[in-house]
Amino acid sequence: MNGTAPPVLLSVAHGIATVTLNRPKEMNSFDGATARTILETLARVAGDPACRVVVFAANGPAFSAGGDFNWVLTWPDRSQQEREEGALAMTQVVQAIYNLPKPTIARVQGAAVGGGVGVMLACDYAIAAEDARFGLTSVRNGLLAGIAIAVLIQAVGARRARQLLMHGGIFGAREALAMGLIDRVVPADRLDAEVASLAAELRLGAPSVQALIKRLVTRIAAMPADDAVVDLVASEVAAQCVTDEAREGMSAFLAKRKPGWAT
C-alpha cells in the first residue's frame, strides 16, 4: 500500500483474534477499500479454527465514525449503481460481523457514531470505556445511518431506534448501557482487562455449539412461536448431542476435567 499503514490489523494470540481498525486520523471511518479489507479479514478469521473469539478494536481516539465523508462526497459524481455498491460494501461489513460463527466482542473507546454503532451492535458483546460517546448522528449531516438500522432495531426495538435515528444527538456510556446498546461500562484503564476476561470466559464454550447458537437464535427470532420452533430446536438438540464435542464435554464433566477446547 505504498508504505502507508494498512487500514485493518489482525493479531491472534491464545485463541483470541483481534481485528483492529487502523485509520485513526479518519476516526476509523470506512471507505470502500477499508470495507473490502475488513471483509477479507473476517473471511480469514471465520475459516481459522485457531480463532475462537474475535475482538473488534480500534486505534486512536475513536472506535469508528462510520462512513468516511471524504469518500461519500465523491458519490454524486458516480452512477447509482456505483453508489449502491459503496453502500453495500459498508452494510456487508456489519452483516459479516453479525454472521461470524464465533463469539464477538466490541472494545469501544472514544466515539462510536453512525455506522460505527452498527459495527459495535453487530458484535455479540460490547464493552465500553466510561468516557465513550455514542450517537446515530447521520441525520444531522443529511444522511441515513442505514448500515446500523437492522442491528439497532434488534438491540433497542423499533420505537427507540426511530427516536435515536431521527434525533441524531450524542450521549454517554451510561445512557447507552441503560438503553441496551452496550453490555458493560468500565474505567478506561480497565477496558483491555475486561475484554480479555470476557474473551477467556467465552473460550470455555464449545465452538460448534456457539456457532449453532448464533445461527439458531437468529432463525428462531424471525419465526412465530409455534410447533415449528419446537421441532427445530428438538432436531438441533438431538443432532448436537452426538457430536464429538458433546461427547468430549460430557466425558470431561464426569471426569472432573476441562474439555479439550478449553485447555
DSSP state of 181: S
**DSSP tally for the chain: helices H, then strands E:** 11, 9
| In a shared domain, residues 82 and 178 | yes
| In a shared domain, residues 186 and 211 | no
| Span 68-92, pLDDT tens digits | 888 888 888 888 888 888 888 888 9
In this structure, of 93-97, 119-123, 196-200, 225-229, the range with the lowest mean pLDDT score is 225-229
Give the burial class of 127: count Cβ atoms within 10 A of its Cβ; 0-12 exposed, 13-18 middle, 19 or more buried: buried
192's grid cell? 483491555
Instruction: Tell me what pLDDT residue 18 has.
Output: 98
Query: Mean of the per-residue pLDDT values for the chain?
Result: 92
Question: What's the CATH number where 217 sits?
Answer: 1.10.12.10
| Span 166-216, pLDDT tens digits | 999 999 999 999 999 999 999 999 999 999 999 999 999 999 999 999 999
| In a shared domain, residues 160 and 47 | yes
Phi then psi dihedrals of residue 95, to 5 deg: -65, -35
Q: State the Cα angle at 108 between 13 and 195, rounded to 5°.
A: 40
pLDDT band at 1 (very low <50, low <70, confident <90, very high): very low
Torsion angle of C-alpha atoms 182, 187, 189, 193, degrees rounded to 10: -50
Closest by CA to 37, choosing from 56, 11, 10, 16, is: 10
| In a shared domain, residues 21 and 86 | yes
pLDDT band at 3 (very low <50, low <70, confident <90, very high): low
| Span 127-168, pLDDT tens digits | 999 999 999 999 988 888 888 999 999 999 999 999 999 999
Quick check: 42 pLDDT over 60? yes
| In a shared domain, residues 75 and 168 | yes
- Look up residue 125 and give its amino acid: Y
Question: Could you give the percent of the chain with pLDDT greater than 90?
Answer: 68
| Span 195-208, pLDDT tens digits | 999 999 999 999 99
What CA–CA distance (Å, rounded) separates 170 from 192?
A: 24
Number of domain units in the chain: 2
| In a shared domain, residues 41 and 162 | yes
Domain residues for 227? 207-262
Q: Is residue 181 part of a domain?
A: yes
